[in-house]
Structure 1
Amino acid sequence: MGKKSYGWLLLVLLTLLLGACSEEGNSEASSSDDVVDIVWYPSESGSDMKSSRDDIGEVIADATGREVKHHLTTDYAISIETMVNNNAELAFMGAQGYIEAKERNDAIQPLVVSTGESGTLDDAVYHSWLAVNVDDVNNYKENGEFSLDTIADKKMSFVSNSSTSGFKVPASDLIAHFSDKSLTEEDLMEGGPLFSQVLFGNSHQGSAVNLLKGSADVAAFCDTCVENYVELVEGEANRPGSIYRVKDNAAEPFSLVKGKEFVLISVTPVLNAPFVGNIDLLGEEGFKKLQDYLSSDEVANNEKIFVPEGSDQSALFFKSGEERLAPVDDEWFNPIRELSK
């Protein structure tokens, strides 16, 4: 056999070898396609929410036919970066976090949000609270009424600067109220311009505990994020002046402040948090199939997903009326975008 024949044979062998390597690489890529990664914010990453995460994971697995892996986080920024960098297909995040992620990666799109009792998006809201310790309540009144003027120079706890109800909404309210000070969001992130000190709890639970253990005088956090840990003891839910008490069986981190009470001094409605998906990773067909399944009657009637009101079980969603998951588009979040203008 001549040198040309050996060269031809070597070329064939090399081609076959490269082809085999390429097939192996594609095999590894396709195996990763068998997994759907979902990222959870710190407020939903606690051990008490595990059963709720697992139940939602089962629904996603049924809809996609793929294994679901949960990514738990201790920081809002980690959740957002994971989605922005195409390292997860899904996330449950607040409106502000979604907006920040969408600005940096257009493939991230909203799937569904939980509705209100009406079963529609008309009342798909939760509530941003400003709260103080019950023993200090009179320090936050002027002429018998609660006044935001009284929180100046106090120690303030927010959740994260990427939190909708734990920073974005209350910051907007405070900037509007103290308009004579020409404050910015950056001013509210540090002591001096308005507060004597600013803390970040990194979760709604953490912000509430900052208040209840005395590290902060005032704290911002949301109703749905702490409803598994506290109970209403006086007044009407989500009304200034209402008093809440930490349950005796509250899980961490509220186990450190059992029995402590706080009072609401300000309450602001906020658009419900969405499940979002990366359409490049899911594919348009996969995205639509998942959206349809999540918004189906089957999921709405699943008591593991929408736990009946009054249940002792910790859950992400509770049902007191016609609550369900409903498709939503990007424009629905424009009211939150407007807060930054």
Structure 2
Amino acid sequence: MKKKMLTLMLSVSLVAVTAGCGTKAGEAQNGSAAVKTKDTITIAWYPNESGAEMKSAREEIGKVVAAATGKKVEHKTTTDYTIAIEAIASGSADIAYMGAQGYVEANAKNKKVQPLVIPSGESGTLEDAVYYSWLSVRKGEEEAYRNGSGYSIDNIAGKKFSFVSNSSTSGFKVPSAGILNYFSKKDKYKNLTVDDLILGGKDKFFGEVLFGGTHQGSAVNLLNGKADVAAFCDTCVANYIELDSGNANTAGAVYKIKQGATEPFNTMVGKEFALISVTPVLNQPFVINTGTISEDDKKKLQDSFTSDSVTKNAQIILPKDSKEVGMFKQKSGKEKFLTVDDGFFNPVRMLSN
């Protein structure tokens, strides 16, 4: 799967896929230089996980960190991807939950930023540790993108398009790479660059370009008519939607905003959108700054996150029939957290090369 993932993410065809505290010195245990470990550990969260509806999920993760390290925990919610990336890179945050692209950017700024754990796939392994980047249109407009029995992205040119953030893996990096890969094979767009996708207007690739700031925000841009096509991922909107027709995570599938959806979808219940492209993306990790988290605490954190007590904690990994809002949810019952090294994210890193 990982080799397949590298191929997918490098080609990214975007065709329909069918499937403030005191400190104390703490010595690292691996012979590295001493690390000044903080009395309070700060966890930075992307905007997608910073909303009020995710508060209990954040706090439950915080309890795991506090119990493992014996330290206080503070949560740093953000309104912009860059804030979280800069926080973990600078050491003003010690742990962050972020997409693969955000990790790659933070690691490039500071090599002390390293992966801690990553949620597994349905198999309970890294082999299918993926989520999905969607290109979506409003229900009823998908026929303009049909190509035989499948779908094509040819007609996205000239449209109003919404990305998430230029530091988003599934909301920018993967879809933009895929668009470039697809259209650069056509003579008209053979010199197309990623910069051409950021600014819309007359004589530009897109008629208008918006950035939702969050995956939820990008979906809202689509549903309220500001965008004709929007990029966002399945997991970040999963708490607000339900499958209406078709096969999940497959081009042609139709989803609708479900009853009881919270902000920003509370005024959009029943609105529908259809997928025209689906691309698998590496799961997003919890990462740490090893300049502020000692090797000893890193080990404690990894042991805790990968323990049975966390795996079976229904407030962290929600049962598949749960109606609660959370970050992680069972599909098979085998889901867990796994340790992973920096090299795991090379497929995303290579998208920038």
Partner of 1:305: 316
Alignment of 1:330 with 2:324, yes or no, is no
Report the structure, 1 or 2, having the larger helix content.
1
Partner of 1:184: 193
Gaps of 5+ in 2: 1-20, 26-36
Inter-partner Cα distance in structure 2 for 1:267 and 1:188 = 19
Inter-partner Cα distance in structure 1 for 2:63 and 2:48 = 20
1:238 to 236, 249, 256: 249
Alignment of 1:280 with 2:285, yes or no, is no
Alignment of 1:75 with 2:80, yes or no, is yes
SS of aligned partner of 2:96? strand
Q: What is the CA-CA distance between 1:136 and the residue it aligns to?
A: 1.2
SS of aligned partner of 1:195? coil
1:226 to 229, 237, 249: 237
Partner of 1:22: none
SS of aligned partner of 1:253? coil
TM-score by length of 1: 0.90
> In structure 1, what residue type is equivalent to 2:196?
D
Partner of 1:147: 152
> In structure 1, what residue type is equivalent to 2:223?
L
1:130-209 to 2 correspondences below 5 Å: 130-143=135-148, 145-179=150-184, 180=186, 181=189, 182-192=191-201, 193-209=204-220
TM-score by length of 2: 0.87
Do 2:57 and 2:316's aligned partners in 1 also have CA atoms closer than 8 Å?
Answer: yes
Inter-partner Cα distance in structure 1 for 2:276 and 2:74 = 40
Inter-partner Cα distance in structure 2 for 1:159 and 1:171 = 11
Inter-partner Cα distance in structure 2 for 1:29 and 1:294 = 24
1:266 to 277, 288, 302: 277
Alignment of 1:116 with 2:121, yes or no, is yes
Q: What is the CA-CA distance between 1:54 and the residue it aligns to?
A: 0.8
1:65 to 66, 70, 74: 70
Q: Hey, which bits of structure 1, 4+ residues long, moved more than 3 A?
A: 27-32, 142-145
2:130 to 115, 125, 129: 125
SS of aligned partner of 2:352? coil
Do 2:162 and 2:222's aligned partners in 1 also have CA atoms closer than 8 Å?
Answer: yes
- Deviations 1:4-24, CA, capped at 9 Å, x for gaps: xxxxxxxxxxxxxxxxxxxxx
- Deviations 1:268-296, CA, capped at 9 Å, x for gaps: 00000000001110111111221121111
Partner of 2:38: 33
Inter-partner Cα distance in structure 2 for 1:184 and 1:244 = 32
RMSD: 1.4
> Between Structure 1 and Structure 2, whose CA radius of gyration is higher?
1
SS of aligned partner of 2:326? coil
- Deviations 1:52-74, CA, capped at 9 Å, x for gaps: 11111111111111111000001
Do 1:38 and 1:88's aligned partners in 2 also have CA atoms closer than 8 Å?
Answer: yes
Inter-partner Cα distance in structure 2 for 1:111 and 1:33 = 17
Percent of residue pairs identical: 53
